Amino acid sequence: MRTEVSSFGEFRLIDHLTRNNETMNAGTLLSVGDDAAVIDQFGRQCVVSTDMLVEGIHFDLTYTPLKHLGYKAVAVNLSDIFAMMAVPTHITVSIAVSNKVSVEALEELYEGIYAACERYNVDLIGGDTTSSRSGLVISITAIGEVAPDKYVTRSGAQANDLICVSGELGGAYLGLQLLEREKKIFLENPGVQPDLQQQAYLIGRILKPEPRADVAEWLKENDIVPTSMIDVSDGLSSELIHLCNKSNTGCVLHEEKIPAHDDARAMAMQFGLSITTCALNGGEDYELLFTISQNDYDKIKEYAHVTVIGYMTAPEQGLQLVTPSGGKHTLTAQGWNSFDTH
Amino acid sequence: MRTEVSSFGEFRLIDHLTRNNETMNAGTLLSVGDDAAVIDQFGRQCVVSTDMLVEGIHFDLTYTPLKHLGYKAVAVNLSDIFAMMAVPTHITVSIAVSNKVSVEALEELYEGIYAACERYNVDLIGGDTTSSRSGLVISITAIGEVAPDKYVTRSGAQANDLICVSGELGGAYLGLQLLEREKKIFLENPGVQPDLQQQAYLIGRILKPEPRADVAEWLKENDIVPTSMIDVSDGLSSELIHLCNKSNTGCVLHEEKIPAHDDARAMAMQFGLSITTCALNGGEDYELLFTISQNDYDKIKEYAHVTVIGYMTAPEQGLQLVTPSGGKHTLTAQGWNSFDTH
């Protein structure tokens, strides 16, 4: 029998491969299937997450400066730790690289890695550097800490909880489209240098995302304990489906509430794309998507960095996107899948 | 300026890239530069190590069954944890794989991963599965625990300490040579199926190494605290040089004491290789190399799994290999380097 990897998709594949995973250590509090795992370390708790970035799949060195790539590789891992409401403390970095790459290029990559470590007060404590026959591969494991049982999983949301998202969505996807367009133009007309200065916001969203440490911190300071949380790496739709599936809820998502930056709206228009589609299916925004009890609404409503975009429902009500005109659509996961054969 | 990666070699490269690494968290007890890092977790200590295996560099799928590969990928990471005298508890596994690989093939790989987890009582707690444009890449991070300050680094050896090694050396390298030879024969004469049953020991050494949990455990039970320790992944010579450099010692290594299996000696003869060269420069044996105080000699001398092969000296005496006839050679690191352009 032969089943194609592409027929599974990334999430179902990892679910499938780890379906018989039984944990043996009593200290393993949360295993595969959330933003990070949680292990009990002598009374306090340690949160662990890992991510792999592959050249040609997750990044294109044509328009990704190595320093930015190093920074982003760390940032996306830390985002998983913040999405557990934990604080990252340490990372390990493994890199496979063609021996055609210069040491200076690797230094640039590490400059970005160190810049992110410094910004988020994280120590680089280990790594492996090895040769690769083809492209660059970066694998990072992030470790964080959290007070006992204060971590937030994907599975605690209940009907009537409010669905909140930090920042603005869709920008990273539009930034990527912009870079891809400029790359194409450049390859066809090597004389034309792209001028992307006007698009600093969108380019920044794709090349230099920042994990929302600030939002996680604000929630703690204001004694708001999210009932569930995930970071938006694969698009709002896919992440919200994760929360609903893990929490066994349905949801109502109000299209007109989905936050987007003006530059993103304008660029979506230019590309003839719906900004809602960019937010739902684009991915790489690295914002925090979470649910809170309605009791916390008064605390959060004035906070500029978070928008309430809907609410959880009973599971039998399904996953609904409500348009401004009152139309109802079922949310489907069209998020990014690295195994797609397009 | 452009410096070729291959001009650096693997160790110097990671040393170079992490040379300005300053740790910020008080809990970071040991960072880059040992078998694993050590972080303080609320009074007890957590040991972290990471390794990346790349197809075409670290393994050849022509003769590596995927189940064995999964097992080995875990085993070599656990070996680093045991080499700190810590006990592994958790791993994360990230895999990049071509979408031409079948789900069944990945299942085999995970079978091996789980078999190693079960054998060593370790929980798989997280992972990432992503697409790769080319070969298979496996990145594993292992986490272990150790009682406060009971971890053993590479840097504690002193002059007159005895140099000990577990098991036997050179076998993995000879197993690899054997597989490479049979592959070549097979490619030239596809009709000839290799019969490797007679060579189960050597093939086992390269395809299914076991980390020396037993030896680490025995040392603890017998109250022997090694003054320094490292696992033999790149050849005895290279590992002993690490211990001497980090501990600021010289050493005397007695060639005739280097332990080797009869099958390894016979195969070395067949290949016209010196068994000493295979042990010194071959690598992948995953035995434990460590130093102990002379006071512990009586305890260890009857233990069948450990051989005393020399002793540490003052640094100015250099790193000496003494042949059976009394000849003296300086040890040099010719261990395996994935960046070599051969």
CATH number of A5-146: 3.30.1330.10
A322 at B interface, C-beta within 8 A = no
Q: Which residues of B touch A104 (CB under 8 A)?
A: 1-3
Encode pLDDT of B85-109 as tens digits: 999 998 999 999 987 788 888 899 9
For residue B22, the chain A residue with the least C-alpha distance is A123
Reported as type and span, the H/E element at residue B137 is: strand B137-146
Q: Is the pLDDT of residue B116 over 60?
A: yes
DSSP A135-179: S-EEEEEEEEEESTT----SS---TTPEEEEES-SSHHHHHHHHH
- Fold designation for B162-330: Phosphoribosyl-aminoimidazole Synthetase; Chain A, domain 2 (3.90.650)
| ipTM of predicted assembly, 2 dp | 0.85
Q: Is the pLDDT of residue A341 over 50?
A: no
DSSP B166: E
Q: pLDDT grade, residue B72 (50/70/90)?
A: very high
Instruction: Give the integer Cα–Cα distance in Å for B92 and A28.
Output: 13
Which of B42, B92, B338 faces A43 most closely, judged by CB atoms? B42
DSSP B183: H
Region B277-306: mean pLDDT is 96
Characterize B143-171 residue by residue with b for buried, 16 or more Cβ atoms within 10 angstroms of its Cβ, and e for exposed: bbbbeeeebbbbbbbeeebbbbbbbbbbb
Of A267, A289, A284, A288, the residue nearest A336 (C-alpha): A284
A26 at B interface, C-beta within 8 A = no
DSSP A211: -
Locate CATH 3.90.650.10 in chain A: 162-330
Do residues A174 and A109 touch, judged by C-beta distance below 8 A? Answer: no
The alpha carbon of residue A127 is apart from the nearest alpha carbon of chain B, in Å, by 6
DSSP A219-272: HHHTT---SEEEE-SS-HHHHHHHHHHHHT-EEEEEGGGS---HHHHHHHHHHT
Which of B3, B43, B137 faces A103 most closely, judged by CB atoms? B3
Determine how many CB atoms are found less than 10 A away from the CB of residue B336.
17
Q: Is B308 helix (H, G, I), strand (E, B) or coil?
A: strand
A29 at B interface, C-beta within 8 A = no
Place of tokens 């992030």: A142
Give the pair of three-digit tokens for residue A99: 């021996």
Instruction: Give the integer Cα–Cα distance in Å for A239 and A230.
Output: 7
Yes or no, beta carbons of A129 and B13 under 8 Å apart: yes
Encode pLDDT of A125-181 as tens digits: 888 888 888 789 999 999 998 888 889 999 999 999 999 999 999 999 999 999 999
Give the pair of three-digit tokens for residue A128: 């492996």
How far from B322 is each of B154, B256, B276, B309, CA to CA, in Å? 23, 9, 11, 11
Yes or no, beta carbons of A97 and B43 under 8 Å apart: no
Do residues A294 and A179 touch, judged by C-beta distance below 8 A? Answer: no
Do residues B261 and B254 touch, judged by C-beta distance below 8 A? Answer: no
Which of B27, B114, B126 faces A50 most closely, judged by CB atoms? B126
Which of B4, B52, B134 to mutate to test binding with chain A, by most A CBs within 10 Å of its CB? B52
Q: pLDDT grade, residue A336 (50/70/90)?
A: low
Return the pLDDT at A16.
73
Give the pair of three-digit tokens for residue A224: 């708001």
Determine how many CB atoms are found less than 10 A away from the CB of residue A230.
25
Q: Is A293 helix (H, G, I), strand (E, B) or coil?
A: coil
Share of chain A above pLDDT 90, in %: 65
Instruction: Give the integer Cα–Cα distance in Å for B131 and B144.
Output: 29
Yes or no, beta carbons of B57 and A131 under 8 Å apart: yes
Strands B288-292 and B228-231: antiparallel
Yes or no, beta carbons of B99 and A341 under 8 Å apart: yes
Q: pLDDT grade, residue A342 (50/70/90)?
A: very low
Average pLDDT score, chain B: 89
**Torsion sign (Cα): B281, B282, B283, B288:** negative
Encode pLDDT of A81-114 as tens digits: 999 999 999 899 999 988 778 888 889 999 999 9
Determine how many CB atoms are found less than 10 A away from the CB of residue B219.
26
Paired residues of B130 in beta bridges: B96
Which of A2, A27, A118 faces B104 most closely, judged by CB atoms? A2
B137 at A interface, C-beta within 8 A = yes
Yes or no, beta carbons of A124 and B39 under 8 Å apart: no
Return the pLDDT at B1.
64
Strands B123-131 and A123-131: unpaired
Can you point out the beta strands (E) in chain A?
28-30, 37-41, 44-54, 87-97, 123-131, 137-146, 162-166, 228-231, 250-254, 288-292, 306-313, 319-322, 328-330
Which of B25, B94, B117 faces A89 most closely, judged by CB atoms? B25
> Does the pTM of the predicted model rise above 0.90?
no
Q: Is the pLDDT of residue A20 over 80?
A: no
Locate CATH 3.30.1330.10 in chain A: 5-146
Q: How far is CA A129 from the centre of its chain?
A: 25
Surface of B (49-88) touching A: CB under 8 A: 49-52, 54-58
- Based on its alpha-carbon atoms, the radius of gyration of chain A, rounded to whole angstroms, reads 20
